[in-house]
Structure 1
Amino acid sequence: MKEIFRYHTVFGALWMNKARRKTLAQIQATGKQHNLKRSLGATQLLLLGVGTAIGAGVYVITGTAAAEYAGPSVLLSFLIAAAACLFAALCYGELASTFPVSGSAYSYAYLSMGERMAWVIGWLLLLEYGVAGTAVAAGFSGYLTSLLENFNIHLPAIITQTTFQSIPHSTSGLLSFHHNINLPGLLVMLFISLILIRGIEAVARFNTTFVCIKIAVLALFVAIGVFYISPANWHPFIPPSQGNFHFGIAGIFRAASIIFFAYGGFETVSTAAAEARNPTRDVPIGIIGSLVICTIVYVTVAAVLLGVAPYHLLDRADPLAVATMLIHKPWLALLINAGATIGLFSVLIGLLYAISRMVHAISHDGLLPRVFSIIHPQFKTPWLATILLGLLMGVMSATMPIALLGDLLCIGTTLAFAMVCFTVIWQRNQDPKAHRPFQVPLGAIYIRGIWLGITPLLGIFFCLCMLIPLGLNIIRSTLNGNLIPLLFFIIYAALGVCTYLFYGRHNSTMNQKSPHHPHNHHS
């Protein structure tokens, strides 16, 4: 049956003779060698996921998705994106309970698709986390600047705007150079690096406090805003289509593909598996629980926001501020601004945490230089990786207009989610008797003896639904002359290929001749 599954899988046929796959035993052995400190419980993992997911999605993306693509029907977009994420989250839950190691989709791909595909997924995820963190740092800088202005503290443009800026009304994506640097974006990333180095307990305490504050602020907005809802603002619920994914049914799916990326914070929990006290039980709770909480928060806040403010007014960086102006409560606007600043800070903690653990896992396997997996003797954290990544993301935030990269960056996350769903199918057929503390629901169909789970199949289907509008938008943008996102991606992909060919392939722990092979080198 295993042979049938191998030969009947497109990827299996392509990679069967060449892929260096890890076995279940190797994956589990890796989890025991990492030297990270296991100190996170289910509640802390849940709050880590919530802290990373509730940020730009609720404070920024809701307004853009409603004003540009879906109108009031953006509520359906949230539910479609949540459904897509839920199937992926259930698959993450099964794999995380079976293989409690850091590295998330990268480690799972190593198991199902082999080393090369694991490298591709890992490289894409580093781009996702890195640019998402850079973009959130820029958003944090904007909210902080706005918050300080409420107290008559005006930061000059020279320290709040990026060095390179998009030329207004230019479709070619050209940049202009200015003698500016976004200093708050740089400083916040360095500050968070120092927090993360101190250890996961300090991170969990910071995160718990910030998550409680931002959810309390959003709850206050809902509690007050509900009395100012005008049902007329919800009509027409699905505005008539204007073509190019603007409104109509196509607009709902286009908005869902943008929002889908905002839900991705739940994946951060799977990168924390190596630091969870009881990962087989707590990681699935953290992943699925954080997604459920985020869905409830997103839909509730969006419903009130669109009831208070007409959707066409919301295409701006701070849509909640529009609603607070309409209900004439300046003190609430100040609170929401403070909540957004704190909220984005906790998102940055989660993103930098996730990327540092991802890099640690890849380095531990020998595919990146060993310096990235050096653990601090006292704090038990990958401290060099954390500092270097924080500095890199800070410098990018200080100099580059990240909005340029747009949809391109959502594609890696979507592919990673699809890969995780595929890995569940692969692993169920490769090792059907393995102990799985958490299993995906909804059962399976069998074709020629091959197990095809309904949940992972639906996860792959929804990921494809998210990919189509993203891909079409990138093609249209490129044809209009905006070549920068595509060029950036080509350069990044080329760098990834070269890194693997000239370094990772030779230094991999799967390579018997590698100096990092477990028999030759003790971690």
Structure 2
Amino acid sequence: MSIWRIKPISAFEADMKKSDLKRVLGKWSLTAIGVGAIIGGGIFVLTGTGAYYHAGPALAISFIIAGIACVFAALCYSEFASILPVEGSAYAYAYGTIGEIFAWIIGWGLILEYAMGSMTVAVSWSGYFNKLLKIFHIQLPEWLTTDPASYTGEGFSMNLPAFLIVLFVISILIKGTQNAAKANNMIVLLKVSAVVFVIIAGAFFINIDNWSPFIPEATQIIEKESTHSAYGITGIISGAAAIFFAYVGFDAVSTQAGEAINPKKDVPFAIIASLLICTILYILVSLVLTGMMNYQDFNPLGKYPDAIKAPVAYAFDIAGQGWAGLIITVAATIGLISVLMVMIMGQSRIFLGMSKDGLIPQVFSKVNQASGTPKTNLMILGAVISIVAAFTPINELADMTSFGTLFAFTMVCIAVWMLRIKQPNLTRTFKVPALPVIAVCGILINSYLIINLSAKAQLFSGCWLLIGIVIYFSYSKSRSRLNNQN
């Protein structure tokens, strides 16, 4: 009955042999999944909030710091993926190295990353979709685009676009991973093209005066009900923590290991490639954006109150290039669909792994024979995510998503180090170079970024983990497959 029981490597190998998932993903499809998840809210939404509320033009440095934090974790993920090429991501890695309670906490924390991240993206998509409709002079009523808590009118309201886009994505995913991957590849090609367009076209409208001072003097930003520190070195660090949500996604590659054709080689390649590609694009876009618009112009109470909601598109609008804003709005509207697709896919595979181990109900591990996907699992997730996205104000969800991601990254850095010590002779097709140094750096920087998240996000996330521990001891511990085998 030990809460520290470890799932043996042989059990993972047996699960892989019995898996009904279809191995249809090559290394470039896996890389596209990573890029598809990473490029989305980060470039199209968080660049404005990161520049105004945190770092100013030095947002590029924030992206570098967040990217470095990810590199340490990405290397550790890659080593694990070469040992345990199974669905479940950090949850499975912890189960095979540290113990069941640790794996459960990570799995429960990953819900913050994927399920709540999906809700955040669905609402972000709704904002871009409404902006796109306005370009064509179509205006949906406020009660159909606003959650009840944010609605200023009377009577019923819901965010209908957010609700419908989740159901649309679910309808694609349940048809099969191969079809979903093809759709994702096309969307990713469109998104990357749009980002490259922003970098090249935006470079012609940069005013270098907007970069001065590059690191603004530390100050306090006063809002309606609160104040918080911004700019300076502290602002750069808090900016890195806040925009970490932009990097959610490269670990989604590891959740698809059960469907990779050659997971031990292709998953590590895709994790590192997708992270490097997106980090470079993020840095360049943040430099172009803060060069086109002064960071102070993203003030939601200032001259351009809507600029913070769709910063890249508004930067081109203000530069008098409305046609470019239209291209970006279309690309963002379509592009965010692939982020939502990958996040829901990732969450369903984590649930699939946890269900196989008996820690959550067996309904989540049923795989449809025709499509090779966990259809019921996806439908349950779709119902929950669509309803929450439509009826809940989720201003804090981006930070809570960042908490779940940073927490998982920290645990993976610890776990890969422990496994190297405990089982040094395991076959590893990819090994982290200078592991103790890389692992310690990953643990320290990710923990430091957690500390720099908002106090409210830390409180909510802490309560979420506490609820998870209660569920583990009241339900999962006694139903664990390892416990019943023993």
Q: TM-score, normalised by structure 2?
A: 0.93
What one-letter code is carried by the residue in structure 1 that aligns with 2:208? P
1:173 paired residue number: none
Query: What is the aligned counterpart of 1:206 among 176, 183, 187?
Result: 183
**Counterpart of 1:253?**
237
8 Å CA contact retained: 2:3, 2:101: no
Q: 1:118 to 1:178 in 2, by over 3 A?
A: farther
Structure 2: how far apart are the matches of 1:161 and 1:384? 29
CA distance in 1, matches of 2:394, 2:381: 16
Question: Are the counterparts in 2 of residues 245 and 254 from structure 1 also a CA contact under 8 Å?
Answer: no
Corresponding residue number in structure 1 for 2:278? 294
CA 265–405 in structure 1, closer or farther in 2 if over 3 Å, else same: closer
Q: Is the 8 A contact 2:151 2:157 kept in 1?
A: no
Does the CA contact (< 8 Å) of 2:257 and 2:267 recur in 1?
yes
Residue 350 (structure 1) aligned to one of 337, 342, 357: 342
Q: Is it true that 1:233 corresponds to 2:210 in the alignment? A: yes
Describe the superposition over 1:310-338 as per-residue Cα deviations: whole angstroms up to 9, x where unpaired.
Answer: 01112411111231023211111111110
Task: Write the mapping of 1:104-143 to structure 2, written as runs, cut at 5 A.
Answer: 104-143=89-128
Q: Percent identity?
A: 40
TM-superposed deviation, 1:49: 0.3
User: Offset of 1:165 from its aligned partner?
Assistant: 2.3
Counterpart of 2:437 in structure 1 is 454
Aligned-pair CA distance for 1:90: 0.5
Aligned to 1:415: 407
Say which of 144, 150, 159 aligns to 2:129.
Answer: 144
Deviation at 1:488, TM superposition (A): 7.8
Partner of 1:359 in structure 2?
Answer: 351
Measure the CA separation in 2 of the matches of 1:348 and 1:132. Answer: 8
Q: Which amino acid letter does the alignment assign opposite residue 258 of structure 1?
A: A
Give the AA of the match of 1:44: S
Match of 2:257 in 1: 273
Distance 1:353 1:503, change over 3 A: same
Instruction: Spell out, residue by residue over 1:35-81, the C-alpha distance to the aligned partner (whole angstroms, 9 max, x if none).
Output: 11111000000000000000000011111111111111111111000
Offset of 1:356 from its aligned partner?
0.6
Question: 2:475 is matched with which residue: 503, 512, 515?
Answer: 503
Residue 72 (structure 1) aligned with residue 64 (structure 2): no
Deviates more, 1:310-319 or 1:52-61: 310-319
Residue 177 (structure 1) shift: 8.1
Contact 2:44 2:312 in 1 (8 A): yes
Q: Assess if the C-alpha contact under 8 Å between 1:273 and 1:283 holds in 2.
A: yes
Supply the AA of the counterpart residue of 1:464.
S
- Which of 414, 428, 431 is matched with 1:436 structurally? 428
Q: 1:177 to 1:512 in 2, by over 3 A?
A: farther
Equivalent-residue separation in structure 1 for 2:443 and 2:450 (angstroms): 10
Q: Name which of structure 1's ranges 457-466 and 381-390 shifts more when overlaid on structure 2.
A: 457-466
> Residue type of the partner of 2:134?
E
Q: Which moved more, 1:454-463 or 1:176-185?
A: 176-185
Give 1:221's match in structure 2, choosing from 179, 198, 201.
198
Structure 1 segment 317-332 matched on structure 2, within 5 A: 317-332=309-324
In structure 1, the residue matched to 2:303 is none
Q: Alpha-carbon deviation of 1:503?
A: 2.3
Query: 1:164 touches 1:177 (CA, 8 Å); kept in 2?
Result: no
Q: Distance in 2 between matches of 1:106 and 1:64?
A: 31
Do 1:165 and 1:178's aligned partners in 2 also have CA atoms closer than 8 Å? no
2:184 partner amino acid:
N
Residues 56 and 214, structure 2, Cα contact 8 Å, conserved in 1: yes
The separation in 2 between residues aligned to 1:277 and 1:177, in whole angstroms, is: 54
Q: Is the 8 A contact 1:129 1:354 kept in 2?
A: yes
Indicate the residue corresponding to 1:53 in structure 2: 38
CA distance in 1, matches of 2:407, 2:460: 20
RMSD: 1.9
Partners of 2:309 and 2:280 in 1: CA distance: 22
The answer (yes or no) to whether the contact 1:314–1:322 under 8 Å persists in 2 is no
- 1:69 maps to amino acid: H
**How far apart, in 2, do the equivalents of 1:263 and 1:317 lie?**
19
Aligned to 2:223: none
Match of 1:33 in 2: 18
Residue number among 281, 303, 320 corresponding to 2:287 in the alignment: 303
Q: Please give the alpha-carbon distance, in whole angstroms, between the structure 2 residues aligned to 1:60 and 1:178.
A: 30
The range that moved more, 120-129 or 404-413, is: 404-413
Q: Is the 8 A contact 1:230 1:307 kept in 2?
A: yes
> Counterparts of 2:319 and 2:197 in 1: how far apart (Å)?
13
Verify the 8 A CA contact 2:163 2:389 in the aligned structure 1.
yes
Match of 2:82 among 83, 97, 113: 97
2:171 & 2:93 partners in 1: Cα distance? 29
Distance 1:231 1:154 in 2: 37
User: Normalising by the residue count of structure 1, what TM-score does the alignment of the two structures yield?
Assistant: 0.87
CA gap of 1:164–1:466, structure 2 versus 1, over 3 A, is same
Unaligned runs of 5+ in 2: 221-227, 300-307
